[in-house]
Chain A
Amino acid sequence: MTAIQINGLGLVGGFGCGQQALLGALEKGEVSPVAVALRDHHIPLLQADSAPLENFLNKRALRRIDHFSRLALLGAFQALEDAAQPALDKSRLGLVLASGFGPLTTTFDFLDSVIEDGDICASPTAFSNSVHNAAAAHISMQLQITGPNLTISQFDQSLAAGLLSAWQGLAEERVDAVLLGVVDEYCPVLGHCWEKFCEIPGAQRMTPLDFSRMTGIVGEGAAFFLLQRETPIPARYGRINSVKVGNLCGSKPQLEIVRPLILGCEGLLNNGATYGQYVANGQPVACYSPLYGASPVSPAFDLAVAALSLQRGLLFPSSDDGGDYYQGGVIRETRPCSALGCLRFGNDGEYAVIHLSRGDL
């Protein structure tokens, strides 16, 4: 199998809900974070609102479903609706859900309830939602997807891990299509860790291409993709030609210098400079993480931006216009685009490179 097609998109993040919200943010170039309470002060958050899920499910159906799973459901509903394939056989539709942290809020709420009230008073609903594959189960039940169902986590390379699993299922023809979703949420424990370990002094705007400063803002959300094998019909949002993963200890990312790269840096010192080290100065680059924040779900939003760019044949201006490293290469104006790559470095040298091209090529 030479490539897989992206034929549906579902999105919810700090920029809002749906493709139009992300396109609007890409054109504007910025999204304002909200201030969320953390102990005796506030921290900025690119917060995702799952309220539009009520357009798909009534309140009664949602009452046992937590924020994490609601984000996932919202992304899943949108992606299937967007793909507009009523003949799609749900028994031949695989579901791969990837997450860096899983349902953090419910997990900690459940643990708190055990500590405070004892295990006999722990909520069974909170327990069931804290199970790592609860979101995938909700999606499967609500959308009647009965194909293979997998929940996967590889911290901030969860998208790449999910894509490889989806690719395998399609290549082996175990399924006709895969609904791949990446979802992550904010919770106060994460906010605490963010402050403690990242020491970011209340940033209000991310400048991730400035590798000398910490400017990351926590983000959350969900990005879903309906993936299918190549057909004579062009892909709606472009085709994924390859997904390469590795570790700098043993290999180097293979980057084509002629292709623009969407960089997955997100204002963190510990891996920011790695981009400067391995991406040649002069390579056309863009970074859009200021629109959705720092989170394991961000690479999936990068992929969504790539998909929308390929659909339009135009790459959006970078949301950060560059620090010292990429002054010559940062994409500052809309430009034609028929192929590009998404590059993500993790904290310990792991990397993922996804190469895409337009669906009609």
Chain B
Amino acid sequence: MDIKAKLKQILIEELNLEDVTPAEIADDAPLFGEGLGLDSLDAVELVVVIQKHFGVEIKDMEEGRPALQSINTLAAFIESKQPR
């Protein structure tokens, strides 16, 4: 499973988005606000989930804000932090 598909599955399972399927999450759609509708509490949960599943730490807001924009940005951030 590629990283974007895994991210979508984890988002649905860990954030209990029972009303959403992976196919309904567009790679470039905003995760927060009008996109997937996540909020600030989800952001905190996401930081934990990313570390737990990918071993990648989001250290602060400066790093987190651009990374948590969409599935595309999150996947790129994780790939950039994972050892090659």
Contacts and interface: CB of A to CB of B under 8 A. Distances in A.
Given A63-B15, A64-B16, 18 more contacts: A58-B19, A59-B18, A59-B19, A60-B17, A60-B37, A62-B16, A63-B16, A63-B17, A63-B18, A64-B41, A117-B52, A121-B48, A121-B51, A123-B48, A124-B41, A124-B44, A124-B48, A125-B45
A120 B58 CA distance: 11
A64 B40 CA distance: 13
Closest 5 CB pairs of A and B: A63-B16, A121-B52, A59-B19, A124-B44, A59-B18
A243 interface: no
Interface residues of B, number: 13
A60 to B, nearest CB: 6
A137 interface: no
A121 B58 CA distance: 12
B45 A123 contact: yes
Interface string B1-25: 0000000000000111111000000
Nearest to A58: B19
A200 B51 CA distance: 43
Q: How large is the interface on A (under 10, 10 to 19, 20 to 34, 35 or more residues)?
A: 10 to 19
Contacts of B41: 64, 124-125
Contacts of A123: 14, 45, 48
A269 interface: no
A120 B51 contact: yes
Interface string B49-64: 0011000000000000
Nearest to A117: B52
A122 interface: yes
A124 B37 contact: no
A63 to B, nearest CB: 4
A124 B51 CA distance: 13
Contacts of A58: 19
